[in-house]
A and B are shown apart, each in its own frame.
Chain A
């Protein structure tokens, strides 16, 4: 039972490394966070920041080897998933924690009908009669907005458009009323026009079942519209986390500034220029010394920023539960540097 305030999911100091020929890749390097029941949490970062690996580690879907979980705990309702048997994990996968993947084109099995694949999810976790299972599959398709679900339940994935396939994935993921829905870049592969609709479906249908959402994306726009809290990941670590409004209006970490500065905003002045972050994300087989962002950071101070990895510390005066990882965080007036990227709006 989940006690009143206890988080649904607690990730504690998780480290997932890949042992490759090129060396050890520290894909996730000391990540901790909580998700409470019914809450929507976002993880934002560039590709290679470790956000997807974090999600896959939670469900135990990474191939071992090359992946290896070096340390940490993943507490699901107080029980550590990393020490749970494969058999018990299977009950949790799909039944309690479900996942939606990036590419709906390739995430559905081409040789089975949509209905068959949703029904398989239901029969794996619940004991229902054949007709009840069928009915539930049709209901789920209706819920995610597939027209004529009674007919389309017999269609194969190739007969669905990309947006419809992602809707079917959502229907499948929610079929057993999971308590947590992990969405890994759910709209990246879709047409821009369909993206908003799919996000809307994820949000409304998850709400209907009271499922919490962990939304993984590189797109701050997606996060802004739908999450309660946001974590920014860089180089396998969380570099800033805050309530969504605080992150957008009082960001404290230069990387977050860079992310925000590289996207257009509704409140932009016409003369603000979009500034891409210079350089490329670090090679995680050989992470840079000190702050992982320091080689790309225009505010980096030699001797300080490349000396030691800064801790994730609480930010004062910028909203509740706001934390950031920056060596210069405490400097008076440092936060004003955000103007360089955000044109005085923050």
Chain B
């Protein structure tokens, strides 16, 4: 088990490092750097441009900038905006709570919903719920998240409130108070639509995946053994089938959890939430590369940590990874 975890940890560190390097190269090393972009149409004198470069260390060799980027990152310094000198840390402080809450609830919808729907669709194969999950899965894969978000606002916000159907209206403001930092306290309806919009795409996909791996496990010999023991169907399904079906599910969930960070960018914009995602999009619009880089670094590192957690849970699910083979005696 130790060696598996060590391997996964090393892999996570490598992937996060490589991903950060790719972002660094994209944002810093490309011709047409942030300063040229800053100067925009009004051509600044080359002297002024060079002064700005010197100020942000952009005149140094790439490798020095690269070292500095990682050095600062390790110390928790995300860099400075090239447009208004603000620390990216300030942007982060302003936005991370909103994003964190959105991702937490979106992740809960994604994981909780997919477990529930996938399990029930497999146990009741061919039922209405099963078909509905399939339809939603194909649909959400093909419809951009922001369109889902806009349509959700219309059907569960605008139309109901125009007709006075308050019970169906979830288009309230984002919760203002939070209990323990993450549990909505007052105005809780505001979290419902954003969380579902963030979670539903990967939820439907994961539910389908869990369903097919459950159906595969249901044909396994050890399930017949479990029935032959006299166990009730519910126990066979949960203890013996679900537990095994979760193994492929977890691998996919690891990718899905990375993807919801990207989905959150759209969701925040659609619902007008001031989070990391909408901040990044805004920074991209004004070509503020350091802000994009700093906030992306946060996102990449968080995503990598989530993947690592999922990998660790994987090793608990599958003893073949945890415990090596003993010599048969």
- B-binding residues in A (CB < 8 A): 59, 61, 89-95, 98-99, 101, 103, 106-113, 120-121, 124-125, 147, 155-156, 158-161, 164, 169, 172
Closest to B326 in A: A159
Question: Residue on A with the closest CB to B221?
Answer: A106
Also in contact, A121 and B328, with CB within 8 A (given A101-B221, A111-B318, A159-B323): no
- Scan B132-164; emit 1 where CB is below 8 A from any A CB, else 0: 000000000000000000000000000000000
Interface status of B254 (Cβ within 8 A of chain A): no
A124 touches B229 (CB 8 A): yes
Partner of A93, one of B220, B228, B317, B325: B228
User: Is the pair A90, B230 in contact by a Cβ cutoff of 8 Å?
Assistant: yes
Known: A61-B227, A101-B225, A120-B229. A106 touches B319 (CB 8 A): no
Of A90, A156, A161, which contacts B231 at CB under 8 A? A90
Top 10 A-B residue pairs of the complex, sorted by shortest distance between their CB atoms = A161-B328, A93-B230, A94-B230, A106-B221, A94-B229, A90-B230, A109-B222, A159-B326, A156-B319, A99-B228
Measured CB to CB, the closest approach of chain A to B222, in angstroms, equals 4
Q: Specify the chain B residue showing the minimal Cβ separation from A103.
A: B221
A155: chain B residues at CB < 8 Å are 323, 326
Taking a contact as CB atoms closer than 8 A, the residue among B224, B244, B247 that contacts A101 in the complex is B224
- In chain B, positions 172-214 with a C-beta closer than 8 Å to chain A are none
CB pair B243 A111 closer than 8 Å = yes
Closest residue of chain B to A160 (Cβ to Cβ) is: B328
Within the complex, the shortest CB–CB distance from A97 to chain B, in Å, comes to 9
Please name 17 further chain A to chain B contacts, defined as beta carbons within 8 Å, in addition to the given A61-B224, A109-B225, sorted by A numbering. Answer: A61-B228, A90-B232, A93-B229, A93-B230, A101-B221, A101-B225, A106-B220, A106-B222, A107-B222, A107-B225, A109-B240, A109-B244, A111-B244, A111-B319, A155-B326, A158-B325, A159-B323
User: Considering the chains assembled together, what is the distance between the CA atoms of A107 and B230 in angstroms?
Assistant: 15
Asked whether, in the complex, the Cβ of B230 is within 8 Å of the Cβ of A110, the reply is: no
Task: Return chain B residues, CB-CB under 8 Å to A124.
Answer: 229-231
Is B320 part of the binding interface, using a Cβ–Cβ cutoff of 8 Å? yes
Is B329's beta carbon under 8 Å from chain A?
yes
**In the complex, what distance in Å separates the CA atom of A91 from the CA atom of B230?**
6
Question: Residue B299 at the A interface, CB < 8 A?
Answer: no
The complex places the Cα of A91 from the Cα of B227 at a distance, in Å, of: 11
Determine how close the nearest CB of chain A comes to the CB of B237; give it in whole angstroms: 13
Q: Quick check: is B226 within 8 A (CB to CB) of the other chain?
A: yes
Q: Which of B230, B231, B247, B318 has the most CB of A within 10 A?
A: B230
Min distance, Cβ B223 to any Cβ of chain A, angstroms? 8
Cβ 8 A contact of B323, one of A121, A147, A156: A156
Question: Of residues 22 to 77 in B, which have CB atoms within 8 Å of A's CB atoms?
Answer: none
List of B residues within 8 angstroms of A121 by Cβ = 229
B277 CB to closest chain A CB (Å) equals 38
A-B contact pairs, 18 of them (CB 8 A): A93-B228, A93-B229, A94-B230, A95-B230, A99-B228, A107-B222, A107-B225, A108-B225, A111-B247, A112-B243, A113-B319, A120-B239, A124-B229, A124-B230, A147-B329, A155-B326, A156-B319, A160-B328
